[in-house]
A and B are shown apart, each in its own frame.
Chain A
Amino acid sequence: MSENCCTTNGNVMILACSGGSNVGQLSNRAAVELTQEGFGKMFCLAGIGAQLSGFVQSAKDAPVMVAIDGCQVGCAKAILKNARVDRMHYLVLTDEGIEKNKNLELERSDIARVKAAVKRVVGEAKSAEAAYSGGGCGCSCGS
């Protein structure tokens, strides 16, 4: 939850499937580290799945959102679809060449790979948006 008026505007909402496989946990770990590094802010996919209005509306109103699914089962995508959230950036880690298995001891190199993929997906979209807008957070703070 933000404490000032501009937080959501500059922040990327990050949703991870956080599933019980290496790729699920890679999605979670990458979301945690990207939050810690200030790239975006991890948000609670479970709250959206539970159809709690604060979470669902937050996802609908997020200026920029990226959903990370570990595999093609696509749980995060399905949750968002059920919540009627369709405006998002999206990636599947097995599509990034990471093989799914049940080893929950994550490789540092895989975490870095996922973080780079998330930045790439969001960055490509941001670049496209920047071409059509003047930038700035849109509120009265001047940033």
Chain B
Amino acid sequence: MEIKVLGPGCAKCKQTEKIVKEAVAEAGISADIEKVTDVMAIAGYGVFGTPAVVVDGEVKSVGKIPKKQDVMAWLK
């Protein structure tokens, strides 16, 4: 599984990355988690704002810190 956290580095982006890492650890799965900070790379996903979370190429959340339970659901 490949997870990308899109965000230039604001507090909400860092919190989102933390929640994603916690969810992956709790789910006990293997996933590559990448933080994407490059603005042009982020723009390539067509998101209106950040933070955003992409799981296996599909954007799951935009402009907010996701709940851990939501992230867990995306990992199933």
Contacts and interface: CB of A to CB of B under 8 A. Distances in A.
Contact of A1 (B11, B43, B57, B64): B43
A17 to B, nearest CB: 18
A5 B11 contact: yes
Interface residues of A, number: 30
B58 A5 contact: no
Interface in B35-61: 39, 42-43, 45-52, 54, 57-61
Given A5-B51, A140-B11, A61 B63 contact: yes
Contacts of A2: 48-50, 63
Given A44-B46, A55-B46, A140-B11, A1 B39 contact: yes
Interface in A1-57: 1-9, 11, 13, 41, 43-44, 47, 52-57
Contacts of A63: 63
A139 interface: yes
A141 interface: yes
A15 B10 CA distance: 27
A1 B66 CA distance: 18
Interface in A69-120: none
Interface of B: 7-8, 10-13, 39, 42-43, 45-52, 54, 57-64
26 contacts: A1-B39, A1-B42, A2-B49, A2-B50, A2-B63, A4-B10, A5-B7, A5-B13, A7-B50, A44-B46, A52-B46, A54-B54, A57-B60, A57-B61, A57-B62, A58-B46, A58-B47, A58-B48, A60-B62, A61-B48, A61-B61, A61-B63, A61-B64, A139-B12, A140-B11, A140-B12
Interface of A: 1-9, 11, 13, 41, 43-44, 47, 52-63, 139-141
